[in-house]
Structure 1
Amino acid sequence: MWKRLLQRSTLLLVLVASVAVARDRAPRVRNVYLRDDPKDEAPRVYVTGQVVTVLRLQQPCDPSRTRMPGWEGRFEPVECSGKRVLVEPLQNLESEDRFPLLVTLADGKELPFTITAIGKEWEQPDQQVDVFLAPETPEVLRAKLEDTRTRERLLQEATLRYGREDTEDHALARLVSRGSVQLTRLKLRRRWFLRKEGMTLKADLLTGETKAAVLFRVTNHDPSKPWSLVEARVLTTRPGRKAPTLFGEARPFALHKDWDELAPGSAGSLAVVVDKSAFTSQEGPCDLTVELYRHDGLRVGHVLMDRRLFRE
């Protein structure tokens, strides 16, 4: 039966590169708390080319005494207006670049900052930095309380995520991603290669009696930039379609990888595992599409799996 299905091309695997997908991101607003201690390091402000970063102060600043030495040719002139300081690089900074910014308030108090580049390619620059001085004011206490709530929420989400990963499917994904397919009941059905845009992507389609998996092997050929996965999706696809849908119903899946980013020249594996039940949606039997999105939001590949994989 499997042979006939393969001959009739009912197992479809398609990898598509360079498909841009717009993804909304929340503005990056960060709080900075300054103490009146000369031993403290100047807080860093992370910027990127042609994007304005705003420092939001508690009191007005003095334009005549707010300066950034060495800005010529690299930045627009620093603007100090009321309680706002605007910083805009003309182009992306190098990771080692450091520019001192000295903001002077109307009362003469000087606030030092260090302007530098974002740490990694997929990170967001500071769109707004709220600067707090007096640690006991109600405004500062509210900001710190909100920071604490945000950290707690992120911790709870991580705890729930790790709890959900303690499943049979996640255990299977760990085995597959680590190259131990021989320890599972999965069998290789199809293999596909793609080389484009500084990367190589190999995908192995594996199936068993009640599980299906895709093992991706990503190699980063870019000479200077790291590569990372920002998101994977498993969506329902209308039966008979040979292309993925961007509006399918999300289906449960397990994913495992042992790396956060791939340095230039390095490679890594990741596995996506779905249960047989995922091939049934609210509208009935369906096919599934596995999609991968890299750090800049571009979809780098998709795998289309036919529901008839589980027919005897």
Structure 2
Amino acid sequence: MRLGQLAGPILLAVFLAASIAQASDKCDRPKQRSIMLSEHPSDGTHTVYVKGQTLTTLRFEQPVDPSKTKLIGWEGRLEPLTVARNKVILEPIRDLNRDEGLPLVVTLMDGTEVPFLVRPHWSKKDNDWAPIPDQQIDVFKSRNSHASMHSALVDALARNDVLTEENERYRKEETSEDHALAALLASGAVAQTPFTVEDHISGKDPETEMDATVFKGKGKAAVIFRVKNLASEQSWSVQRVRLVTMHSGRDRAAAVRATVREITPGGSGVLAVVADGSAFVDDGVLTSLWLEIYRQDGLRQAFVQLDPALIAR
């Protein structure tokens, strides 16, 4: 059982968010959303989340006036603003600092001015982190236009699909033995489970300190991660837990439970993962697994090697 980083020569007791691998398939897809303009003063300025060397396109229903469309403070941070008919294209040279916010005013040909605030994709808004940058934003003036209604319908269907998928997942988890075991482990009730401690490993980087306890069970394996957030500003959370066969790279199911959804700066939390013995079987042969933990920004925080010996009866 090993825990490691990508950059180090020895894969033992080290955690480092150094991987640029994305945490889920959703991160590989362009993030597209819609904005409906409002005349209410509190809804006047919308935030655009950008990432270094990643294009973000604002698309409007009518042409944009390039001579009256301005981005303040872009020098050294973004490429010169590009206006192409009804589109405004932003291209950051680098990631913006966490406290940076660049005012953008887009002026349409009819004289309408639309204000935005360009922020880094890890900016905090309404206590919610935005780990995925905007790649396309469709901006609508009229709720009654065909394009606006079509966009609203697409968004509603997408949200419905997500909710349906979540409800089905929750329904299955309610009756899952592995999820029940993960919940007991996360709560500290290890004595109520069939697991025994096999190994303990730990490590830290400038933003995160972790301890991992690996458990052996009857036909199952488990790992408890105790996480302390050392960052001064950003909360720590899990975007994805991935269990994959070491040689073929095939994904395997795992039960995951956490004590908190988000660990605030200076805070701590526990994450428990349970893997059934069937996950170790690849083409009829027992194989080792990689258990990978991806944090809120999509980077791989840590990984543990799980050997078939953990499920020995």
The equivalent position to 1:201 in structure 2, one of 210, 226, 251, is 210
- Output aligned runs, 1:239-254, within 5 Å: 244-245=246-247, 247-254=248-255
Aligned to 2:10: none
- Listed one character per residue, the Cα deviations across residues 38-97 of structure 1 (whole Å, up to 9, x for unaligned) are 564222222244544221111111122222445556554433331112334555445554
**Given that residues 18 and 298 in structure 1 are in contact (C-alpha distance below 8 angstroms), is that contact kept between their aligned partners in structure 2?**
no
2:231 maps to: 222
Task: Output the amino acid matched with 2:210.
Answer: L
Pairwise CA distance, 1:310: 4.1
3-state SS of paired residue (1:148): helix
1:120-159 equivalences under 5 Å are 123-159=131-167
In structure 2, how many angstroms separate the alpha carbons of the residues matched to 1:132 and 1:219? 43
Give yes or no for contact 2:288–2:305 (8 Å, CA) kept in 1: yes
* Structure-1 residue corresponding to 2:83: 80
Residue of structure 1 in register with 2:16 after alignment: none
Instruction: For residue 147 of structure 1, report the CA deviation from its aligned partner.
Output: 0.7
CA distance in 2, matches of 1:14, 1:52: 38
C-alpha deviation, 1:36, in angstroms:
4.7
- Cα deviation for residue 125 of structure 1 reads 2.0
* Secondary structure of residue in 2 paired with 1:260: coil
Q: Give 1:270's aligned residue.
A: 271
Structure 2 residues not aligned, in runs of 5+: 8-18
- How many corresponding residue pairs? 292
Q: 1:212 aligns with which of 207, 213, 221?
A: 221
Report which stretch shifted further, 159-168 or 292-301.
292-301
> Is the 1:18–1:300 Cα contact (8 Å) retained in structure 2?
no
**1:227-249 deviation digits (Å, cap 9, x = unpaired):** 3322212223xxxxxxx44x333
Equivalent in the alignment of 2:256: 255
1:263 and 1:187 mapped to 2: Cα distance? 31
Say if 1:84 and 1:221 are closer, same or farther in 2 by CA, change over 3 A.
Answer: same
Per the alignment, residue 4 of structure 1 pairs with none
**Residues 16-40 of structure 1, C-alpha deviation per residue, up to 9 Å, x if partnerless?**
1136353461111211112455564
* Structure ID, larger Rg: 1
> Which residue among 24, 32, 36 is the counterpart of 1:33?
36
CA RMSD of aligned residues (A): 2.7
C-alpha contact (below 8 Å) 1:228/1:261 kept by paired residues? yes
Deviation at 1:254, TM superposition (A): 0.7
* d(CA) in 1 for partners of 2:284, 2:130: 37
Question: Helix, strand or coil for the counterpart of 1:165?
Answer: helix
1:15–1:300 contact (8 Å) kept in structure 2: no
| d(CA) in 1 for partners of 2:221, 2:42 | 57
Task: Indicate the residue corresponding to 1:17 in structure 2.
Answer: 5
Q: Is the 8 A contact 2:38 2:44 kept in 1?
A: no
Q: 1:114 to 1:169 in 2, by over 3 A?
A: same
The TM-score with structure 1 as length reference comes to: 0.81
Flag the 1:73–1:287 CA change in 2: closer, same or farther, 3 A. closer
SS of structure 2 residue aligned to 1:101: strand
Q: Does 1:231 align with 2:240?
A: yes
Shift of residue 109, structure 1, vs aligned partner: 2.4
CA distance 1:282–1:137, change in 2 (3 Å): same
Q: Percent identity?
A: 37
* Kept after mapping to 1: 8 A contact 2:132/2:297: no
Structure 2 match to 1:239: none
Residues 204 and 33 of structure 1, relative CA distance in 2, 3 Å threshold: same
1:190 to 195, 199, 210: 199
